[in-house]
Chain A
């Protein structure tokens, strides 16, 4: 599971020796995120975001469990119990703002994490399973975030629930029965709110389980690194602790500055004022938009305005929206270039940045009203999005001439300095 030169766990205290024989949990931690896990020595700050995502999951679980102690999932009182948390519960405002902005922060770091993977080819063999599990985590996150947004039972909560469950109504023949089954009624109501609360409490723990599988799969080949060259020798790696615990700790501090700035100075900047109006089934808000982290996918959903062959526009939009994420599952097999890192792929690198711009444009259109010019722009951007994965990536990986790769990570970091490369270990004396 690790490189042969990994440090071995050697408990010295008798109590730890005793524990190691009965339940080697400290050994497991030592080998997973301690000094027993060798990591490429050249990871840059883009590699911080996995740990940050894990930290966000902890924020969400801790604040969420506490909020659930004060919230009531009943259509009659859900909105008022949310306001009760904001006004009456000690520190309730901080816990709720921390949870709401924690969701946004979670998506910010996960998007960095995903695009880091796009750029450095982290999805390529032998790391396909890590990538597939990561996409599964992202889908679970989307479901969890959606259901959590319904719980305050404001106008955006209600209409978001109606629109998103309406997506299932687009499935031919069985769509409407499925929608009714999901909601437990003909429109979002008590049954829907109560089950969304139940699932919103459950899914984060499912995510936690898949995160453990994600890290387990990661520890088999070990991390990629910015050169994309595999670890060859001991001098290519440093122990996770103290090197990356320190680096991740610094990244965490920077993250917390931004998170706390949002939490304490602009807690509603990413929310919608409409959600401070209690849910009203008789009136749709003038401009329904999901939370910002769904905007690119929402723009793809709305890009289909005409029937196409036998497919109604509504079904096309729904299929395209789901496909825009499901295509990530195919990524390891669409990009066949043997070179991982974008640093050594000049053509790929340009298209990578075009994709970043394209997703940003989709996001902007998804947050705008359903009118021109946003509709036509999102149509073009959606077309480009799919072209990137299905046409550009396979073509580029077939035709591109990559730059010469360094012989090893050590050479990439230290040049061809023999003395440095032959140093027995980068680890500090123990």
Chain B
């Protein structure tokens, strides 16, 4: 190949690289970068749009929730469980050896200081996103007394920590704050 190339092209350098090669590389390179840059808008358009991302927060009146009761609210178009634990449930959650858990967290880590009877978590199973049972009146709470996901059998305890089944994480605690004794603002 080099022999014919030398004979036909007087511009060859000693390495066998022709000046025209630069034009080939530059032209195809520029076209390639141009084509690749079109992918950015094409991929990015699939990400959540501005209205979906727009910050939303939910204020919930928790004044009427009795110990042992829970309500479901909506945050980011997904359910949130607000649960008022009974003293027995709190004791049960504290009894567990945190180090033995799949996703080690204590009840204190998962509630606000001084408000540890208020367990506020997303109602979204960390396995594949089903809504676990246990927040509604008369729903199954599973063998650890917290929540039970009917889809694939993940079982959560009274601090909504994963104890059994395929889910890898505890139910997510969303960002929230108590704006008064009876109102909590999520988001």
When C-beta atoms are compared, the residue in chain B nearest to A306 turns out to be: B166
Residue contact A195 to B46, C-beta cutoff 8 Å: yes
Partner of A187, one of B47, B72, B78, B152: B78
Partner of A305, one of B43, B47, B153: B153
Residue contact A191 to B153, C-beta cutoff 8 Å: no
Residue contact B48 to A375, C-beta cutoff 8 Å: no
Stretch at the interface among A33-41, A278-286, A389-397, A399-407: A278-286
- Is B168 in the interface zone, CB < 8 Å from A? yes
Residue contact A163 to B129, C-beta cutoff 8 Å: yes
Q: Mark B26-45, 1 if CB is under 8 A from A, else 0.
A: 00000000000000000100
Q: A166 vs B152: C-alpha distance in the bound complex, in angstroms?
A: 13
Residues from 76 to 97 in B contacting A, C-beta threshold 8 Å: 76-79
Partner of A185, one of B77, B127, B168: B77
Residues from 48 to 77 in B contacting A, C-beta threshold 8 Å: 48-49, 52, 72, 74, 76-77
Q: A284 vs B79: C-alpha distance in the bound complex, in angstroms?
A: 11
- Is B16 in the interface zone, CB < 8 Å from A? no
Closest chain A CB from B144 CB (angstroms): 15
Residue contact B46 to A186, C-beta cutoff 8 Å: no
Among B48, B78, B166, max chain A CB count under 10 A is at B166
- Is B130 in the interface zone, CB < 8 Å from A? yes
Closest chain B CB from A258 CB (angstroms): 32
Partner of A314, one of B43, B49, B151, B166: B166
Residue contact A284 to B130, C-beta cutoff 8 Å: yes
- Give the residues in chain B near A304, CB-CB below 8 Å: 166
- Is A42 in the interface zone, CB < 8 Å from B? no
- Is A361 in the interface zone, CB < 8 Å from B? no
Total contacting residues, chain B, CB less than 8 A: 30
Q: A317 vs B151: C-alpha distance in the bound complex, in angstroms?
A: 14
Q: A365 vs B88: C-alpha distance in the bound complex, in angstroms?
A: 37
Q: A313 vs B166: C-alpha distance in the bound complex, in angstroms?
A: 5
Among B43, B52, B78, B132, max chain A CB count under 10 A is at B52
Residue contact B48 to A186, C-beta cutoff 8 Å: yes
- Give the residues in chain A near B74, CB-CB below 8 Å: 281-282
Majority SS at the chain B contact face = loop
Stretch at the interface among A43-51, A176-184, A420-428: A176-184
- Give the residues in chain A near B129, CB-CB below 8 Å: 162-163, 165-166, 169, 187
- Is B150 in the interface zone, CB < 8 Å from A? yes
Residue contact B102 to A307, C-beta cutoff 8 Å: yes
Residue contact B128 to A191, C-beta cutoff 8 Å: no
- Is A25 in the interface zone, CB < 8 Å from B? no
Size bracket of the A interface? 35 or more
- Is B165 in the interface zone, CB < 8 Å from A? yes
Residues from 129 to 186 in B contacting A, C-beta threshold 8 Å: 129-132, 149-153, 164-168
When C-beta atoms are compared, the residue in chain A nearest to B131 turns out to be: A284
Q: Mark A343-387, 1 if CB is under 8 A from B, else 0.
A: 000000000000000000000000001110001000000000000
- Is A159 in the interface zone, CB < 8 Å from B? yes
With A313-B168, A314-B166: A184-B128 Cβ-Cβ less than 8 Å: no
What are 30 pairs between A and B in contact, CB < 8 Å? A159-B130, A162-B130, A163-B151, A165-B129, A166-B127, A167-B128, A184-B46, A185-B48, A185-B52, A186-B48, A186-B76, A186-B77, A186-B78, A195-B46, A281-B74, A281-B79, A284-B149, A286-B150, A288-B130, A302-B152, A305-B164, A305-B165, A307-B102, A307-B168, A314-B128, A314-B167, A315-B168, A370-B150, A370-B152, A370-B153
Closest 5 A/B residue pairs (Cβ)? A166-B128, A312-B168, A370-B153, A166-B129, A284-B131
Known contacts A284-B149, A313-B165, A317-B166; 18 additional CB pairs below 8 A are A162-B128, A169-B129, A180-B47, A184-B47, A186-B76, A189-B77, A195-B46, A284-B130, A284-B131, A284-B132, A288-B130, A305-B153, A313-B167, A314-B166, A314-B167, A314-B168, A370-B151, A370-B152
